[in-house]
Amino acid sequence: MMTIEHAIKNVDDVVAKARASSLRLIKDSEERFIDSVTGRNVMTTEQAIAIVDEQRELVLDELDEAMKRLRAWLLRGGVDIH
């Protein structure tokens, strides 16, 4: 029988994996953006990095909120209660 603690641990593991995967996608997107704009000589590397740095905090805040919603949804059993 699964205890509440075990279920919470499973949910936290799923959320951690989702967050890690999301962070990898964000990093890949940042790298592609920098490569794209510098490769076309639209921006210098420093300019592109500055834009990425500006946006990163906002993106990470949004990711944290999404992970909180995912965790809450999973803890409810993956059922929307509207």
The pLDDT tens digits of the residues spanning 23-76 come to 999 999 999 999 999 999 999 999 999 999 999 999 999 999 999 999 999 988
**What are 21's two structure tokens?**
């995967």
**What are 55's two structure tokens?**
């946006």
As a whole number, mean pLDDT of residues 12-16 equals: 96
Instruction: Identify the pLDDT of residue 81.
Output: 58
- Chain centre distance of CA 79: 22
For residues 48 and 38, the answer to whether their CB atoms sit within 8 Å is yes
Q: Output the pTM of the full model.
A: 0.81
